Structure 1
Amino acid sequence: MKTLLIACFFALNLFWTPSAIADDEKPSSEIQKDAGQPIVRLDTKAQKLSGIETLILKPASHHAEFTAYGKAINIQSLLALRNRYLLALTERSSAKAKFKQAEQNIDRQQDLYRHGVSSKRNLQEQQAQWQAYKAQVDATDFQGKAIIDEALLNWGKELTDWALSSNSTRLGAFLSGRQTLLQITLPANKHLPDSIQTIYIEVSGNRSKAHKAELISIAAQTDTAAQGESYYFQTGDKNIITGMNVTAWIPEANEQMAGVIIPKSALIWYMDQALVYLKTSEETFRRRTLDHYSVLAGGYFIPDAIKPGEQIVTKGAQMLLSEEMRGQIPSEDDD
């Protein structure tokens, strides 16, 4: 009889224990409604087990941006102009030295001729040589000016100064690979604000991976396809090499917008809609959709949908969405 009681006791334990364990391990969560909006309720223990992390948002400002396109351009023709110019300067120096010597010679021949020491023919020969050297000086001056004009027409004043000056430090940054020259062409209806010296560029069009590019000057020529204003920029991004096309993000001329910046991990997608989860109390979370946002290097700028001081979920938003969707599935007991 005793043996039978013990067997019954173990059988009851085997029957009830899994159910009790399942109830203990089941996350303490539920879905509620507030004005038709689902609210996920998750107790503190469940939040910890789920790895949910949050962040209280601070005020931030951001310039609205527009997109432009450009290319990393080859400076070989600019270097060729520099070499031609340096050669012209060398020829000019040589011509001027010969001309100066010819001036001294003609002065001496004139003095000798006045004193009857030298013939008129010798004086005339010296004068002809003087004129030839003067013509060489004038030709080298003209050649140098023609090279400058060509550089100005093709590259603009700033790059011309960089290339044709005796100090080529700035141009040397392109030669060493520390910098890459970009030509960015704006849309036809856009202008580069006077205050903008820095833009962001990237080869794949991913704003979050963009690098800085610094303004050099307005370009002397524009892209015939875009028909907009064109500018030269330089970038130290080592991933951009000559010939690559780039996307550029350029700040608008209007005032900065106020809003908040959220981390990249906070934003998730559901049915082609960007959304985040906000913590509205110790145990409740509410989904909020984002209609307007700007991509930044470290996250997203939100101008209106979220206010400073609100607490956003930075880790675990996808889990909260899954809980919300699971809570909307009718249970078998509802049938």
Structure 2
Amino acid sequence: MVRHPMRALAACGVILLALISGPWSGYAQAETPAAGGREPATVKLSATQQKQIGLQTAVLAAESHPEQIRAYGTVLDVARLTELTNNYANAQAQLQTAQARLEVARLAYERARDLVQSAAMPKKDAEAAEGTFRTDQAALAAADSQVKTLMATARQEWGAVIGRGIIERSPQVVQLIEREQLLVQVTLPPGVTLAEPPRFALAQAPTRSVNIDLRYLSPATRTDPRIQGVSYYFVAGGDSGLLPGMNTTAYVPSGKSYDGVFVEDTAIVQWQGRAWVYLRAGPETFKRHPIRTDQPVSDDDYVVQDIPPGSELVMRGAQVLLSEEAKSELRGGGDDD
């Protein structure tokens, strides 16, 4: 699993409220530009204030990252797979029983026929033996047909890989039946295709604090009717926290690379319908910088291209800076009135 840091927004909010009502009101400043407030204000915090809120910064270098496609995952209920596996095992047992009965009936019929020819057995007894032999022949044909029908059904419903696993009762299918692993159907957005199936993917855990590793299994035999995109089957660990029937967000590598800076969710703030980060502008000043979030790594972490090289990014405390900036703008608006 790929782990991500726990969010600290609630803690920052508590600190901010305490500081707003305390000695901060005379020290934290936002230098608002005069041009209608279109440009983000510069937020000024002293070194002491930065320490109080636990502000952390880092200079992050751009690196090559695999491009991720945000897809849609559904944890499937494998009750039908279990049913098919059991039905096939029962049909196979019936076929073997029918084969054994036919062999016994064949030997009895041949023996009876020889005895009739030597006048050692009445003809009616030989005819009875032949009737039993013909009946067992029909039973064998029916059992064989049932096995072949279930084989075809398994392949039609689950595809060649899982279908073969049902027929052979493979370890993979047994793990799915016993819930040691979970079957996840991942569907790409409509119109998106991949040059070749992905070997792995990530899924957002229910707790949203980790990503769950998904291992590719096979192409799906049907799409998600809500999405209408290309679908694949993946497997996840049975202890991943996922449950049958759950929906999750999945991240599938496209096979392409993407150069950018990995930015965690704690560094990103939302304002006026878009995402921003704060960059250090000086020892005591910070400025909000817009970013694009079209390359997700999880639901809240991104690979970002539009951060100037060498910039010092605020990794912890961005939410407090946004709140102080907003508070300063409100004070400025009150002065204008």
TM interval, shorter chain, is 0.7 to 0.9
Q: Which runs of 5+ in 1 are unaligned?
A: 1-22
Q: Is the 2:263–2:304 contact (alpha carbons within 8 Å) kept by the matching residues of 1?
A: no
Q: Which residue does 2:19 correspond to in 1?
A: none
Q: Is the 1:201–1:248 contact (alpha carbons within 8 Å) kept by the matching residues of 2?
A: yes
Q: Does 134-143 or 222-231 show the bigger shift?
A: 222-231
Q: Is the 1:277–1:317 contact (alpha carbons within 8 Å) kept by the matching residues of 2?
A: yes
Say if 1:90 and 1:110 are closer, same or farther in 2 by CA, change over 3 A: same
Q: Is the 2:32–2:41 contact (alpha carbons within 8 Å) kept by the matching residues of 1?
A: yes
Letter in 1 for 2:106: E
Output the aligned Cα RMSD: 4.0
Displacement after TM superposition at 1:301 (Å): 2.5
Question: Is 1:87 aligned with 2:81?
Answer: no
Q: Is the 1:62–1:301 contact (alpha carbons within 8 Å) kept by the matching residues of 2?
A: no
Partners of 1:124 and 1:326 lie apart in 2 by 103
Deviations 1:25-48 (A, max 9, x none): 964978498xx8754555545543
Partners of 2:58 and 2:30 lie apart in 1 by 23
Q: How does 1:314-329 map to 2 (within 5 A)?
A: 314-321=315-322
Q: Which residue does 1:257 correspond to in 2?
A: 258
Displacement after TM superposition at 1:145 (Å): 0.5
Deviations 1:18-73 (A, max 9, x none): xxxxx9x964978498xx87545555455435532111213333333344435333
Q: Is the 1:98–1:133 contact (alpha carbons within 8 Å) kept by the matching residues of 2?
A: yes
Q: Is the 1:64–1:257 contact (alpha carbons within 8 Å) kept by the matching residues of 2?
A: yes
Counterpart secondary structure, 1:63:
strand
Q: Is the 1:208–1:298 contact (alpha carbons within 8 Å) kept by the matching residues of 2?
A: no
Partners of 2:172 and 2:208 lie apart in 1 by 28
Number of aligned positions between the proteins: 311
Partners of 1:68 and 1:317 lie apart in 2 by 29
Partners of 1:48 and 1:203 lie apart in 2 by 33
Q: Is the 1:70–1:182 contact (alpha carbons within 8 Å) kept by the matching residues of 2?
A: yes
Say if 1:145 and 1:325 are closer, same or farther in 2 by CA, change over 3 A: closer
Partners of 1:172 and 1:188 lie apart in 2 by 33
Question: Is 1:269 aligned with 2:258?
Answer: no
Say if 1:114 and 1:219 are closer, same or farther in 2 by CA, change over 3 A: same
Counterpart secondary structure, 1:117:
coil
Partners of 2:109 and 2:285 lie apart in 1 by 102
Say if 1:38 and 1:61 are closer, same or farther in 2 by CA, change over 3 A: same
Question: Is 1:74 aligned with 2:81?
Answer: no
Counterpart secondary structure, 1:251:
strand
Letter in 2 for 1:101: V
Deviations 1:101-129 (A, max 9, x none): 12322333344345443444444433332
Q: Is the 2:205–2:212 contact (alpha carbons within 8 Å) kept by the matching residues of 1?
A: no
Question: Is 1:176 aligned with 2:182?
Answer: no
Q: Which residue does 2:66 correspond to in 1?
A: 63
Say if 1:198 and 1:43 are closer, same or farther in 2 by CA, change over 3 A: same
Partners of 1:49 and 1:276 lie apart in 2 by 20
Partners of 2:157 and 2:93 lie apart in 1 by 23
Displacement after TM superposition at 1:83 (Å): 2.2
Question: Is 1:187 aligned with 2:197?
Answer: no
Q: Does 91-100 or 182-191 show the bigger shift?
A: 182-191
Q: Is the 1:29–1:43 contact (alpha carbons within 8 Å) kept by the matching residues of 2?
A: no
Q: Which has the larger radius of gyration?
A: 1
Counterpart secondary structure, 2:215:
strand
Displacement after TM superposition at 1:257 (Å): 0.5
Q: Is the 2:30–2:41 contact (alpha carbons within 8 Å) kept by the matching residues of 1?
A: no
Counterpart secondary structure, 1:131:
helix
Q: Which residue does 1:247 correspond to in 2?
A: 249
Displacement after TM superposition at 1:259 (Å): 0.5
Q: Which residue does 1:201 correspond to in 2?
A: 203
Q: Is the 1:30–1:41 contact (alpha carbons within 8 Å) kept by the matching residues of 2?
A: yes
Letter in 2 for 1:245: N
Q: Does 121-130 or 137-146 show the bigger shift?
A: 121-130
Q: How does 1:221-240 map to 2 (within 5 A)?
A: 221-236=222-237, 238-240=240-242
Give percent identity, aligned residues only.
27
Q: Is the 1:61–1:256 contact (alpha carbons within 8 Å) kept by the matching residues of 2?
A: yes
Q: Which residue does 1:157 correspond to in 2?
A: 160
Say if 1:128 and 1:186 are closer, same or farther in 2 by CA, change over 3 A: same
Letter in 2 for 1:80: E
Q: What TM-score do the two structures reach when normalised by structure 1?
A: 0.74
Say if 1:207 and 1:136 are closer, same or farther in 2 by CA, change over 3 A: same
Deviations 1:277-314 (A, max 9, x none): 22245444333121345343496334322145432112
Say if 1:151 and 1:260 are closer, same or farther in 2 by CA, change over 3 A: same
Counterpart secondary structure, 1:177:
coil
Q: Which residue does 1:142 correspond to in 2?
A: 145
Q: Is the 1:259–1:308 contact (alpha carbons within 8 Å) kept by the matching residues of 2?
A: no
Partners of 1:241 and 1:67 lie apart in 2 by 20
Q: Which residue does 2:305 correspond to in 1?
A: 304
Q: How does 1:277-288 map to 2 (within 5 A)?
A: 277-288=278-289
